[in-house]
Amino acid sequence: MPPAPPYSLDDLDDALAAVVPRMRALLGEPGRITTPLSLPELAQRFTGLLPAEGGGWEGVGRLLDNDLLPHSLRMHHPGYAGHQVAVPLPAAAAVDGLLGLLNPMASLSDMAPSGVMVERQVVRSLAALVGFDPAAADGVCTSGGTVSNLIAVLAARNRAFPEAWEGGMAGGRPRAFCSEDVHYSVRRAFGVGGMGTDALVPVAADEAGRMRVDRLVAAIDAAHQAGDTPFLVVAGAPSTPIGAFDPVGEIAAVAAAEGLWLHVDAAHGGGLLFSDRLRDLLDGAAAADSLSMDGHKMVYQPSSQGWLLFRDGADAYGAFRQQVPYLLGPDGADRGFDAIGKSLQCTRRLDALKLWITWHLYGSRTFGGWAERCVAAARLFHARLVDHPDFEPVHEPASNIVCFRARHPSGRHVDPFHDAIRARLLEQGRAWVVLTTWRGERLLRTSWMNPTQGEAEVAGVVEALATARASVLAQG
């Protein structure tokens, strides 16, 4: 007799007994922040094909302890100041386990009767934070900013070019406008949407990285003169490289005067809307037609959880104009509570549940306080660099992102010096930052994503950077 398929309570208990202590360890002694191995060394441990016979939790536990966990990036480590990925709330991570077993299909009310209500309630609550009328707004939970931006671009395209969904873009010459510092996913949406990436016109930003509104107006005029059809402006809140906020209010006024769709890409900054003190950075967002914000960035949710919100709920159905008889109602619309008509994906996790539960647990004010702490950590870090002989910040932090140069003894800016320092920092394993290229210069870049980081942690990262820099110089 083959063993019964592992669906019993005992099977669940065995899994939790293996997983829960290892989850606890992730919040325990920090140790190294990432793997000491090079990628080719690490690859050695993952060769061969997976087994025909399973080895049980004992074998898997060894794999987790030897090969996987010590060679993962530890996001809760006090030295983590890297990409704009959330340091996830333990409660949200635990709910992820519950969600996996429940496995609701978030887009269908008959597969997730309470689940669709959860998602609607989160959408309305987020819409209210943006300043949209929650009764008129609508939206959908997505896999993140990339998909949110794609759906928004398609909805805007379909409004301006109603024939595009069925007939393609043969006729028009669409033009959209964004900051030169726009996130690459927006450009990708133009390739996917059949408009061509050249349809997205980059507008120069000022010294502080904010889109120049005079240049925006000029670019729209030039497009009209060339016989093109402007239809969309994308504002970054903030933009990606240095976290600068485009002047959303002024851009909204231009979009309104020109009759253009305004999309605000607040994938990163959306979480600041929870804070009464930081919300002004997104002033004007309430006039947007659509807004992207990621739960898995500044809302402390595990990946993946993105949100796309529409001021006018009818626009939420603008991107996908299809009849799917077995999923949608006879007119192609969904059945009121379903999200198939708004969602790119068919099967979709109820990732909304994690925000719904943590929102109930902690309240929106607390989320706002955490955003303030992250921004405060960035300002502290910036202040320490200003006074530091080895480093030099290249901008005032508008959000929780800080980019900076490492001073080279030659007095010149040396791009590879930055790569070498970053590599040495990771080898030393006490802190984790990333690299970027902005205005033609290689820079080190931090995003302060962990609301428990304060003076001591910021000082630790600065110290680790100085040690890495000194070590690079010593070893040549």
Ligand X SMILES: *Cc1c(COP(=O)(O)O)cnc(C)c1O
- Least Å distance between CB 204 and ligand X? 18
Cβ contact 264:291 at 8 Å: yes
- Least Å distance between CB 297 and ligand X? 6
- Least Å distance between CB 208 and ligand X? 16
Please choose, from the candidates 230, 261, 267, the residue with its C-alpha nearest in 3D space to the C-alpha of residue 245: 267
Q: Which is nearer to ligand X, 75 or 465 (CB)?
A: 75
Q: Of 268, 311, 418, 424, which one interacts with ligand X (CB under 6 A)?
A: 268
- Least Å distance between CB 476 and ligand X? 36
Q: Which is nearer to ligand X, 236 or 368 (CB)?
A: 236
CA distance 134 to 268: 22
Q: Which is nearer to ligand X, 104 or 236 (CB)?
A: 236
Q: Which is nearer to ligand X, 391 or 448 (CB)?
A: 448
- Write out the two tokens for 191: 């390739």
Tell me the backbone φ, ψ of residue 411, rounded to 5 degrees.
85, -10
- Write out the two tokens for 207: 């010294």
Please choose, from the candidates 141, 227, 152, the residue with its C-alpha nearest in 3D space to the C-alpha of residue 192: 152
Read off the amino acid at residue 101. Answer: L
Q: Does the footprint of ligand X cover residue 453 (CB under 6 A)?
A: no
Q: Which is nearer to ligand X, 183 or 430 (CB)?
A: 183
CA distance 292 to 143: 11
Q: Of 78, 79, 144, 271, which one interacts with ligand X (CB under 6 A)?
A: 144
Question: Residues 290 to 329: which contact ligand X by CB under 6 A?
Answer: 294, 306
Please choose, from the candidates 117, 127, 152, the residue with its C-alpha nearest in 3D space to the C-alpha of residue 315: 152
Q: Does the footprint of ligand X cover residue 146 (CB under 6 A)?
A: yes
Q: Does the footprint of ligand X cover residue 107 (CB under 6 A)?
A: no
Residue 214: how many other CB atoms lie within 10 Å: 12
Q: Which is nearer to ligand X, 247 or 429 (CB)?
A: 247
Q: Which is nearer to ligand X, 264 or 420 (CB)?
A: 264
- Least Å distance between CB 10 and ligand X? 38
Q: Of 82, 115, 145, 302, which one interacts with ligand X (CB under 6 A)?
A: 145
Q: Find the angle CA(119)-CA(125)-CA(127) to the nearest 5 degrees.
A: 100
Q: Which is nearer to ligand X, 268 or 442 (CB)?
A: 268
Please choose, from the candidates 384, 394, 393, the residue with its C-alpha nearest in 3D space to the C-alpha of residue 454: 384
Q: Of 183, 263, 422, 469, which one interacts with ligand X (CB under 6 A)?
A: 183
x-marked contacts with ligand X along 395-434 as a string, rule CB under 6 A: ----------------------------------------
Cβ contact 463:425 at 8 Å: no
CA distance 391 to 376: 19
Stretch that binds ligand X, among 34-42, 144-152, 252-260, 455-463 (CB under 6 A): 144-152
Q: Does the footprint of ligand X cover residue 265 (CB under 6 A)?
A: yes
CA 53 to chain CA centroid, Å, is 39
Pairing of strands 434-438, 441-447: antiparallel
259: left (phi over 0), alpha (psi -120 to 50) or beta: left
Kindly determine how many residues on this chain lie close enough to bind ligand X according to the rule CB under 6 A. 14
- Least Å distance between CB 112 and ligand X? 22
Stretch that binds ligand X, among 26-34, 252-260, 264-272, 458-466 (CB under 6 A): 264-272
CA distance 144 to 83: 15
Q: Does the footprint of ligand X cover residue 185 (CB under 6 A)?
A: yes
Q: Does the footprint of ligand X cover residue 271 (CB under 6 A)?
A: no
Question: Residues 29 to 88: which contact ligand X by CB under 6 A?
Answer: 84
Q: Does the footprint of ligand X cover residue 447 (CB under 6 A)?
A: no
Residue 226: how many other CB atoms lie within 10 Å: 9
DSSP for 362-403 reads H-HHHHHHHHHHHHHHHHHHHHHHHT-SSEEESS--SSSEEE
- Least Å distance between CB 231 and ligand X? 20
- Least Å distance between CB 386 and ligand X? 25
Please choose, from the candidates 315, 268, 262, the residue with its C-alpha nearest in 3D space to the C-alpha of residue 293: 268
Distances 130 to 81, 134, 155, 174, 307 between C-alpha atoms, Å: 27, 9, 19, 28, 12
- Least Å distance between CB 146 and ligand X? 3
Stretch that binds ligand X, among 160-168, 261-269, 351-359, 432-440 (CB under 6 A): 261-269
CA distance 386 to 19: 44
x-marked contacts with ligand X along 210-249 as a string, rule CB under 6 A: --------------------------x---x---------
CB nearest ligand X: which residue?
144
CA 49 to chain CA centroid, Å, is 33
Provide the binding-site residues for ligand X, judged by CB under 6 A.
Answer: 84, 144-146, 149, 183, 185, 236, 240, 265, 267-268, 294, 306
